[in-house]
Structure 1
């Protein structure tokens, strides 16, 4: 993609189900090392971080998760720590921990 003045930008890599929001993209792009680590994640790994950030209910929690995403990438993590996993994927059945999350959130299990 070209910007005015002939600058060329690289498209941001997203997940398999989720697309990274502008605030997450800005945080990842703000540090070249974090951006390189993000780009080296698998689409499923990126998807897990995006889903985890998007799952936050409050803006403050969301901001903490964005900061922690950058910190965890710098620490060599490929998935968010202590996250049951994306419940929005349709390519596989939810695992045991995801079922527990779904029960807690919805009061019933996903079909």
Structure 2
């Protein structure tokens, strides 16, 4: 007689762990194309401070329990992009500055990157 062992897929197992142990589920109050301010905690040695990064959200990706978003801004003619995790303890808050004048027709605004 053969005994079959039921094993969960890694994706389902990860989802269950994240749902059970994530302390807070931050809601997305912004979309692709919005201008946001991301307040990020930076730790340098024994000191910590909050750094604000303001720019355009160019993409949101990942599953619900492990979502990332990328923000782009231009500093002195040089493009700077940062990717943040929604549920990261280092991201203190995400402030919506303003919505775009027109809704973007794409999921990812990679055309904002000059090639």
Q: Same fold (TM over 0.5)?
A: no
Larger Rg, first or second structure (1 or 2): 2
Give the TM-score band, short-chain normalised. under 0.3
Structure with more strand by fraction: 2
Select the structure with the greater relative contact order (CA < 8 A; seq sep ≥ 6).
2
Structure with more helix by fraction: 1
